[in-house]
Amino acid sequence: MSTISTKLHDVEATIRTAAEGAGRAPGSVRLLAVSKTFGADAVLEAMQAGQRAFGENYLQEALDKIAAVAQAAPGEAVEWHFIGPIQSNKTRPIATHFAWVHSVDRLKVAQRLSEQRLPELGPLNICLQVNVSGEASKSGIAEAELPELARQVATLRNLRLRGLMAIPEPESDPVKQREPFARMRGLLERLRADGLELDTLSMGMSADLQAAVAEGATIVRIGSAIFGARHYDKGNA
């Protein structure tokens, strides 16, 4: 059985190979290790292998884990990213305990995050989640409404709008996997042409990592390829 450290280094190698194959600098793609449903011990093991950025979907689980990791590894710089659905009455702990939020898809949530972010923490990094799979998905802003939302979020004081995030419907054909990612690249380019200073495409998971990197992903969010299969029977989901 391979360890978290082995699998982490395998994923890093896959990212490097995919980046090189696309003519991109290997350092242009960051790995976000998605630790949802896994305990603080798994995060600490990944940290020992050099990983510092972790993604979480479920707020209470994340807050417990963040506290446990801080206690077990005091003084270690760990960067926490919130990547799950956001309830607008639960924005304060997200604004307080995370460095990035990838899953913003409405103005009200962005406004609350900005109001609740303590200025001394520095701006909260934001990606807007885009619904690239149309009716198949409930999360994410529609492509047609994206430019207006981006323009508004970019003005919020304690946020820094970095780019876009998407979770396309699962697709096994590697060629077809690239279609929604290519569309995301086009959406980002259009927002930049409109004057927004964006540098992030958060896209690609364990099953479509190469396709996402080929289309310009700058953050890939990888869970099961690092930590193994998830079990949702412990009150996590």
Q: Within positions 186 to 215, which residues make up the interface with ligand PLP, using CB under 6 A?
A: 205-207
For the record, the structure tokens of 136 come out as 């198949």
* Number of residues counted as binding ligand PLP (CB under 6 A): 13
User: In the complex, what is the shortest distance from the CB of residue 226 to ligand PLP, in angstroms, rounded to a whole number?
Assistant: 8
User: In the complex, what is the shortest distance from the CB of residue 206 to ligand PLP, in angstroms, rounded to a whole number?
Assistant: 3
Residue 82 CA to residue 99 CA, distance in Å, equals 8
For ligand PLP, which residue has the nearest CB? 223
Among 57, 177, 200, 218, binds ligand PLP (CB under 6 A): 57
Q: Within positions 89 to 118, which residues make up the interface with ligand PLP, using CB under 6 A?
A: none
User: In the complex, what is the shortest distance from the CB of residue 23 to ligand PLP, in angstroms, rounded to a whole number?
Assistant: 25
Instruction: Please identify which residue in the block is written with the tokens 């395998």.
Output: 10
User: Segment near ligand PLP (CB under 6 A), from 74-82, 108-116, 154-162, 216-224?
Assistant: 216-224
Could you say whether residue 7 binds ligand PLP (CB under 6 A)? no
Closest C-alpha to 128, from 163, 94, 169, 160: 163
Question: 50: exposed, middle or buried (C-beta count within 10 Å: 0-12, 13-18, 19+)?
Answer: exposed
**146-153 vs 107-116: helix axis angle to the nearest 10?**
10
Residue 8 CA to residue 152 CA, distance in Å, equals 37
User: In the complex, what is the shortest distance from the CB of residue 165 to ligand PLP, in angstroms, rounded to a whole number?
Assistant: 8
State which residue, 58 or 187, has the beta carbon closest to ligand PLP. 58
Distances (CA, A) of 125 to 14, 95, 162, 213, 236: 26, 10, 6, 21, 25
Binding site for ligand PLP (CB under 6 A): 34, 36, 57, 83, 167, 205-207, 221-225
